[in-house]
Structure 1
């Protein structure tokens, strides 16, 4: 009967429709049929070769079936990323986690999805709907647990706590995917599944081994919530192996848990180049065909990055898997595309009508500022150093992040029309003051390359600057398109037009000029660019970073003579991702800290903006600075040179404020003891500088909370490659942190009263608790109310304490609110040694306050606690 019904529907689909001017050519084009029927019809019409082609992230068009090309790869970590269009850039994910505000994150995801829809609509209209970073399948959020602060990609996560991560991740997915009963606004993707968090240099070969307890207590809860409860559309499997099997081919993770226990029906993508890891790095498979077949059999539907999946045609013919098993994956992929409305008339899909005017709309920019403000965590404010006076006559702003636009944008970012660094924010805040800025130091050393405007001394073909030849390939081959550049400081988003028909993907360029020195002495040339470059002086190659030097800068020092001319030639190629090439020149000078302190001692206040940046931490980077390795850190201590400069500045006796930018926890023991005011602003997005200035000068009352533990030093950390949670994060760390998870100060003070909940609860039931919070300060402020449970039964393995509820509220002076929280049976359970969730029996401590129960802060005041009995 079921088959007869489907046959009837297909026959009906062939009948001309009264509502359309033209009948659909194929039943799958008939939008009156359900998605499953349409997907089955489409896949049934495809050849094996066509099916396999659709399992690559760059899925080609199938003209005979009128199926357009599509690239599955797109990013929206904190705003639409890597698009050639200008977009709104929100704070980095770790900063958004620091807001502890689910509603704000939901709105951010909603706004970002709208901008993504507008970009996709524009791309389709321009015939570029199949280009990378133009699609609607976003490989976000990153819900890995930030177990170790040395991991460079931790900035992309929502922190170290499973409850915070799953809560924030769920609201992000809801905002991104929308609430339409039929269509997705965009498709989110939970990554990297699972047990993945560095080290970056070893991610392609590393085998993670964890206990069943840690797996289910720490590493899987966020994935389970997003898959089972939030219905995330996609999942990305991780590079590393788990229990000796590559994650994309894991029996336990991919088959037993994801597909069987959680009944996940969406699509799974490999991480990019991850299938190659099976046979090239993990050495678990003999060749591409074996690896690809095994990945598909484990439910990995699309391969990103390389084309190992092309071997699936041979794998089917060789009997490694069947065409029917290929069909399963292809149907999942087209189901997602159908749910996104890609095969229906735009008039039927409300999101397909999203106008370009949403890009960087006033509401979106305002929310980017709000989230930047909300993300700021005030760590210290001794003797009310902050807020600073707006009547100040002179403010000195120093440090490597004070005017660093790269730092505030984080990684996996888009590019806004306008952004504000801290220097810019302070200057706009105090238009009548003398705001003095000096970089003073680099992140890890005190010797700066003082740049000169050397381009004025560069000429070629009778024109000042550089002759630029652009090639529509990455090999400098063929006939170039030529123009002249006045200087070499060029940047493009991927897919953005470069010149003529050349776009910023797989292009190359040659830049040539003649530099005439006007002084005798040394000169250092610095080349910085993505992907690859090589630099020649007088025909001699002096820098070779041609083999994918992504994110790296190289330098070469020469001696020059007045009036002498030097031929400069710079070759550059770009593969994918954003592109930039920059040639600078100057001479090195060592900063004299005592002289600098003497120069700035007449300031009303000194603001040092330091920390680290995405130039040092991130994904698989080539970084060669003390304390950093491959995108990760080898030490969590603030680089020594920054501490030494602050020591000199402290001696001026002037108010000193340390504004820290970071994507992870930094150990600052000297600063915590000696600097009167410390503010952590993360990588705050396009409005970071405005938000910092608002906090420093009292126009915004900070209430951000740490989503990670700030340890005292490296000795607090277990071995980086050990995935056991013992001694890690606030849940299992038995030492005393510098600043605990959930910590953050305010310009207001708060009081907690009347914690009410039953004294006895039957196991398996939910429990509702209430607590009253009052703003006892003189300023309107926000407070993050946090609920923790502690299991005093030492015979039961469980976290030392665990977050189970949080809410961000705003209170006027004297205002009070009653907050209610409901703890579900799941939140009142524990994971046993076998990884099985069981209900807690016996005594349980419940606390409510503005911090952890034993990590009090001076502005959130008291934490209330009650013991209840679980029957």
Structure 2
């Protein structure tokens, strides 16, 4: 009772925020007339060492005597409010990049920040503070360079180009933080600083040693832009080491570059458990003890540890032992509380963004913007004239593992769309009069699986009773007696009602119908194991929070009976689980071929999901390892089914749903229309259907290169940029960076440079007239590239400007680009950025001048002579 009373008292003190004794003067940290840093310094000065340490981890505890609410700094907003229930889910970040539309991405980020504020108002608890994924400090955007298409987290980025990433990163940060003079709507956190892009499996021990050229030319420019132009108030340091020092304990990065050269005045948060990496011997092992590890991080310029409460204890011991100066953590605390004050957490709620209410999230208006964004992100890779459809088909076959998949809409770091529209849903909505048949036909990496039928299952070996026995246990050790036992028809289970947690075990006997290899999987929201005759077929027990799609293959004999055991545990409070299999005859593929043969149009929805590519996954299946990819090909079962479906002769549209490049060489040679949809967000199905129908003219562009094969690339672990990305790759590709087709045509004329000869560092304006010469309205993405022939360290070409314009048929528009010194600069081998003398070749057009395709995008070549040399700051 004494503890409950203390909690209630703490809650009342914090809830009254400004509780004061009669006649008491207002403490400085509550005085809104003072600056946020001054208020923060006053507040920090009132804390004990233990209280200070409690505020230096992401799950910061309440300090009732000072009116400090409990606050968890961890929140995610990569493409919408994540992990907090229903929210508007925009296309995954790689899809946002494909819009090539910085103003629109800024609008998207602004809507996301409003939804964060609304969620914050709706869900405040724990003494008025914020729990996990309930705060206003947003660990987004991910502006790492997608240097290699095998990286599983590349879907979270804006692609492979430093300039495109910088422009979209600046727009996103500004949109998240807002323009209010007094408060930040949220605080953005560009990540992961720096030089971070896989492999996932070794990220806690990798020491990346980029050349000085690559560091300045590729890996740092987007971070510089989000800090110096957008004013990002937070940065997240990475897991990997850079040049021998962990990124979160690296003074060259955090002090010399970030705070010194770039004048960053916000706070640095570690990636989660990255500070532990500094002292764990099987990780970086940079320091021998936890106390030395946290000291190294704070001394280097890191301010907030994402990690457990144990790190608070390490901080206290580090200070008491003299390893870490209290003045250093005071510096970090002032930065952190400056941020919380600028978020309005110590001021009257009615004065902080009063126009935002707790209902301003997941609105119909925001979902309309998500649909518009998805439409802008779609890239038409190939079209032999099939699209747009000339008439509504009478019969449509919709095939493929991603056709009716919500996971294929959302990617990772996602919210939960309240009105999700899969591609199947979208086609049904757009073609309500068509007879639409849906056959999955193939799984992502296995044949199409179906529930094991009750007629194949028996409780006992003599098969006196059909079904299986299910036992429910309190925990996953299966210790003791089960709390419930029953006989059910099939090995499936709904986690709801009284059974919302724990583990289940099915036992019984299975009789095979066919000779040959059978594939088994348990569709689950947790870990699972499948045994036949006590031999493991699938072991997916040690999974993380993501549903596994691990399957096993075993040869069975027709008519033979096998002892079956399935064990599974639950990670969610609700959800249905079931035992699936595919017999050797592969009936799913046969049904898909039959559906395609009977249709007037086939839409094959192929690709990946975040169950295959993503962050540090404890899984290895053919083509994938630990979240990364080992092959760029379409998974073999999907490729085989695609070829069979194509052989029916029915007109075929291939829709790719994925977060990284796919080497669809066979499809490019045989399929008449290919549409890249990325992970298109909650309303993505409507967007795809509208593009296929011709209601929307696609204009997305590739933010990454689609290579012909992973064999064309250097090793994944090699961070040198030579032979990587369009800037340094000089071999033929499948689809180049910047590629994207339209249903109309565009022409370029009147290309002009403001000066044909300029002094190094002088501004330059490039302009061109763009005309829609077709008969359909559409968007054109005007792209400006520069090449510096003869300079040994210069890229082959580099994007230095882009603008997306909408033109009606016959309409023309003058598009201009104002270039500063950095646009025409290059980085030398020593990492120094300069504008060098010599010829600058410019190309302004609808894509790169040498696309590798049969049709070169329209555009114009221009030339400028530069005299003199200018060295630019870091």
Q: Same fold (TM over 0.5)?
A: yes
**1:286 pairs with 2:281:** no
Aligned twin of 2:345: 342
1:692 aligns with 2:695: no
1:735 alignment counterpart: 731
Q: In structure 2, which of residues 325, 328, 337 is the aligned counterpart of residue 325 of structure 1?
A: 328
The CA distance in 2 between the partners of 1:19 and 1:376, in whole Å, is 57
1:494-542 per-position Cα deviation (integer Å, ceiling 9, x unaligned): xxxx989x9xxxx952447888999999998743455655689999999
How far apart, in 2, do the equivalents of 1:57 and 1:662 lie? Answer: 32
Mapped partners of 1:594, 1:154: distance in 2: 35
Q: Is 1:778 paired with 2:775?
A: yes
Partner of 1:12: none
Q: Are residues 845 and 555 of structure 1, via their aligned partners in 2, closer, same or farther at CA, if it must alter by over 3 Å? A: closer
- Match of 1:637, SS? coil
8 Å contact from structure 1 (residues 458, 513) kept in 2? no
Shift of the 22–808 alpha-carbon distance from structure 1 to 2, 3 Å rule, reads farther
Which SS does the other structure have where 1:782 is aligned? strand
User: For 2:396 and 2:590, how far apart are their aligned partners in 1?
Assistant: 18
Counterpart of 2:240 in structure 1 is: 240
**1:60 and 2:61 correspond:** yes
What residue is the counterpart of 1:495 in the other structure?
A: none
Which residue pairs with 2:170 in the alignment? 170
Match of 2:430 in 1: 429
What displacement does 1:806 show?
A: 0.4
Residues 238, 828 of structure 1: alpha-carbon distance in 2 compared, 3 angstrom cutoff: same
Residue 24 of structure 1 deviates from its aligned partner by 6.7
Superposition deviation, residue 835 in structure 1: 1.0
Q: CA deviation at 1:483?
A: 14
The separation in 2 between residues aligned to 1:270 and 1:752, in whole angstroms, is: 47
Q: Give the 3 Å change call, closer, same or farther, for CA 387–254 of structure 1 in structure 2.
A: same
Provide the residue aligned with 2:870 in structure 1.
none
Pair 1:637-2:633 in alignment: yes
**Contact 2:422–2:684 at 8 Å: present in 1 too?**
yes
SS in 2 for 1:201: coil
Q: Distance in 1 between matches of 2:186 and 2:667?
A: 44
Shift of 1:840: 2.6
Matches of 1:579 and 1:157 in 2, distance apart? 32
Give the drift of 1:671. Answer: 1.3
For the residues of structure 1 that align with 2:696 and 2:855, how far apart are their CA atoms?
A: 16
1:134-145 to structure 2, matched below 5 A, reads 134-145=134-145
CA distance in 1, matches of 2:858, 2:212: 37
- State the secondary structure of the residue aligned to 1:223: helix
Specify the alignment match of 1:572 in structure 2: 570
Matches of 2:40 and 2:656, distance apart in 1: 51
User: What's the CA shift for 1:77?
Assistant: 0.5
Does the CA-based 8 Å contact 2:399-2:592 persist in structure 1?
A: no
> Equivalents in 1 of 2:831, 2:76: separation in Å?
33
The 8 Å contact of residues 698 and 743 in structure 2, kept in 1 or not, is answered as yes
SS of 1:190's partner is coil
Deviation for aligned residue 1:641: 3.2
State the distance in 2 between where 1:393 and 1:548 align: 44
Shift of 1:243: 0.7
Q: Does 1:837 align with 2:840?
A: no
Cα distance change of structure 1 residues 173 and 519 upon mapping to structure 2, 3 Å threshold: same
Q: Which structure 2 residues correspond to residues 174-213 of structure 1 after superposition, within 5 A?
A: 174-213=174-213
- Counterpart residue number, 1:583: 578
Q: Which residue of 1 aligns with 2:77?
A: 76
Q: Deviations over 1:156-177 (max 9, x none)?
A: 0000000000000000001100
TM-score (structure 2 length as normaliser): 0.88
Residues in 1 aligned to 2:594 and 2:519: alpha-carbon distance in whole angstroms: 29
SS at match of 1:711: coil
Contact 2:93-2:155 within 8 A present in 1 as well:
yes
Q: Which residue of 1 aligns with 2:364?
A: 362
Of 642-651 and 702-711, more deviation after overlay is shown by 642-651
3-state SS of paired residue (1:163): helix
2:651 to 630, 650, 655: 655
- Distance 1:719-1:568 versus aligned 2 partners, 3 A rule: closer
- In the superposition, relative to structure 1, how do residues 847 and 146 fare at CA in structure 2: closer, same or farther (>3 Å)? same
Task: Give the deviation of 1:769 after TM superposition.
Answer: 1.7
Take 1:370 and 1:843, find their aligned partners in 2: how far apart are those partners? 41
Distance 2:493 2:151 in 1: 30
Could you say which residue in structure 1 is the equivalent of 2:106? 106
Q: How does 1:541-560 map to 2 (within 5 A)?
A: 545-551=540-546, 552-553=548-549
Unaligned runs of 5+ in 2: 1-17, 460-467, 868-874
Does the 8 Å CA contact 2:100/2:701 hold for their aligned counterparts? yes
For 1:603-642, what aligned pairs fall within 5 Å after superposition?
603-642=599-638
> Cα 1:441–1:52, aligned 2, differ >3 Å: closer, same or farther?
same
Q: Cα offset for 1:582?
A: 2.8
Cα separation, 2, equivalents of 1:727 and 1:245: 27
1:591-647 Cα offsets, whole Å, 9 max, x none, are 376775355323211111112221111101123321111111111122233333222
Identify which of 760, 763, 767 aligns with 2:764: 767
Residue 363 of structure 1, CA deviation: 1.6
CA distance in 1, matches of 2:479, 2:49: 35
Distance 2:714 2:336 in 1: 41
Q: Name the structure 1 match of 2:307.
A: 305
SS in 1 for 2:449: strand
Aligned to 2:256: 256
How far apart are residue 584 of structure 1 and its match?
Answer: 3.1
Q: CA distance change for structure 1 residues 643 and 547 in 2, over 3 Å: closer, same or farther?
A: closer
On the 8 A contact 1:475/1:508 being kept in 2, the answer is: no
Residue 554 of structure 1, CA deviation: 5.2
- Is the 8 Å Cα contact of residues 78 and 413 (structure 1) preserved in structure 2? yes
Q: Deviations over 1:435-484 (max 9, x none)?
A: 11111112334x3321257699999xxxx99887878xx99999x99999
Q: Pick from 697, 701, 708 the counterpart of residue 697 of structure 2.
A: 701
- 1:813 correspondence with 2:813: no
Match of 1:788 in 2: 785
Q: Alpha carbons of 1:673 and 1:858: their partners in 2 closer, same or farther (altered >3 Å)?
A: closer
Does residue 751 (structure 1) correspond to residue 747 (structure 2)? The answer is: yes
Distance 2:856 2:631 in 1: 31
Measured after TM superposition, the shift of residue 23 of structure 1 is 6.3
Structure 1 stretch 164-173 or stretch 103-112: which is displaced more?
Answer: 103-112
Identify which of 295, 298, 302 aligns with 2:297: 295
- Structure 2 SS opposite 1:350: coil
8 A Cα contact 1:705 1:744, kept in partner: yes
Shift of the 52–701 alpha-carbon distance from structure 1 to 2, 3 Å rule, reads: same
SS at match of 1:192: coil
Q: Deviations over 1:659-687 (max 9, x none)?
A: 11111111121111111111111110111
Partner deviation per Cα, 1:3-31 (whole Å, 9 max, x = no partner): xxxxxxxxxxxxxx999999676331232
The answer (yes or no) to whether the contact 1:481–1:499 under 8 Å persists in 2 is no
> 1:116 aligns to what?
116
Taking structure 1 as reference, are residues 490 and 171 closer, same or farther at Cα in structure 2, changes over 3 Å only? farther
Q: Distance in 1 between matches of 2:470 and 2:22?
A: 56
Aligned-pair distance for 1:549? Answer: 4.4
1:292-325 CA distances to partner (integer Å, 9 max, x unpaired)?
A: 1100101111111333342111111111121111
**TM-score of the superposition, structure 1-length normalised?**
0.88
**Number of equivalences:** 832
How far the C-alpha of 1:583 sits from its partner, in A, is: 3.3
Superimposed CA distance per residue, residues 183-209 of structure 1 (whole angstroms, 9 cap, x where no aligned partner): 000010010000110111111111111
The aligned counterpart of 1:131 is 131
Deviations 1:807-842 (A, max 9, x none): 111111001111111011111211122111111312
In structure 2, what is the Cα distance between the partners aligned to 1:25 and 1:455?
Answer: 76
How far apart are 1:256 and its partner, in Å? 1.1
Is the CA contact (8 Å cut-off) linking 2:514 and 2:584 kept in structure 1? no
CA contact (8 A) 1:710 1:738 kept: yes
**Unpaired stretches in structure 1, ≥5 consecutive residues:** 1-16, 492-497
Counterpart residue number, 1:439: 440
